[in-house]
Amino acid sequence: MQIAFWGVRGSFPVCQAQSLRYGGNTPCLEVDAGEAAILIDAGTGIRAAGRALAKRGVREIHLLLSHAHWDHIQGFPYFAPLHQPGTSVRIYSLRRPGTSLRAILADQQRNPFFPVALEELPAQLEFVELEEGQVVAIGDTRVYSRRLNHPSLTGGFRLERQGRSFAYLSDVDLYTKLLLGAGLQTPSAAERQQRLKELLAGACDLAHCADLAVCDTFFRPEDYEPSWGHSRPEDALRLARDTGVGQLVLFHHEPHRSDGELDELLAHYRRQAGGALELIAAAEGLALSL
Ligand SMILES: [Zn+2]
Ligand SMILES: [Zn+2]
């Protein structure tokens, strides 16, 4: 399994001299799938991914969306394959009550926000709304999804193929006492704690013995804001240790974090991991092979 990183930044894209090396585009990953391609999230990184796919003549694309926060869908209207007749793009996300995946993406590019409406795109679009825990097959890749603790309705994914596994856990606050997310709230503190436990168990299921886990590490401990729904590197390390992850990728970097600060952060947590776990900081252009 080949995994390419096209966008690694959280919240909003940045273009500044201090972060050119790790990159400033918002989340998008590509997983090879033979003649087809699997993409995860449609942040601004998907623009360059789309150009590369169009150049390679890929006509079958599967796009997994973790959630609809802007940094995960804002690149979608600029995704070149959507503007190519004869291309099929199948888009997957957890089902959310009260709205559809199609409506969310159509709203983002309706007049006056964008000149081309979703209905006018020449590519063939298909929307797949997943039930939590549902497993889908994309060629010989199996995709698992679970809900994560993050505002709105957010899913994580696990991809498996030929005995190799990869977990994508962005965005999520893993080890918190604060339950986040639409439709989960309840007046009972005991019930909220129970739901948090279930969400963490879901994240652990996705990461269980994964060869590679890509995990939200937006915050440093000193910046941590409990209501935002993001983790710190120590949270990701704890999850990786608890679930037997092989390689951990720090991901969804805070937009103002400079290359130098990310280097320092990585060095610090590599010392903490003590060689038991291979630790990498996601960067645009990084490609990993499992
Ligand atoms: Zn995000
Ligand atoms: Zn988010």
* pLDDT tens string 186-233: 899 999 999 999 999 999 999 999 999 999 999 999 999 999 999 999
Distance 150 CA to ligand 2 centre (A): 7
| pLDDT of res. 182 | 86
Domain borders along the chain are 2-289
Q: Which ligand is nearest to the CA of 71?
A: 1
CA distance 90 to 99: 18
Distance 117 CA to ligand 1 centre (A): 24
Distance 221 CA to ligand 1 centre (A): 18
Pick from 197, 141, 277, 43: nearest CA to 269: 277
Q: Which ligand is nearest to the CA of 216?
A: 1
Task: Say what the pTM is.
Answer: 0.97
Name residues with Cβ closer than 5 Å to ligand 1, which is an ion. 10, 71, 171
Contacts of 80 (CB under 8 A, 6+ apart): 47, 50, 51, 53, 54
Distance 154 CA to ligand 2 centre (A): 7
Fold topology of 2-289:
Metallo-beta-lactamase; Chain A (3.60.15)
Distance 169 CA to ligand 2 centre (A): 11
Distances (CA, A) of 114 to 25, 51, 120, 261: 20, 19, 12, 36
Joined tokens for residue 93: 């996300």
Distance 230 CA to ligand 1 centre (A): 9
User: 60-64 and 2-7 as β-strands: parallel, antiparallel, unpaired?
Assistant: unpaired
| pLDDT of res. 181 | 87
| pLDDT of res. 275 | 80
Q: 233: which DSSP letter?
A: H
Residues above pLDDT 70, as percent of the chain: 100
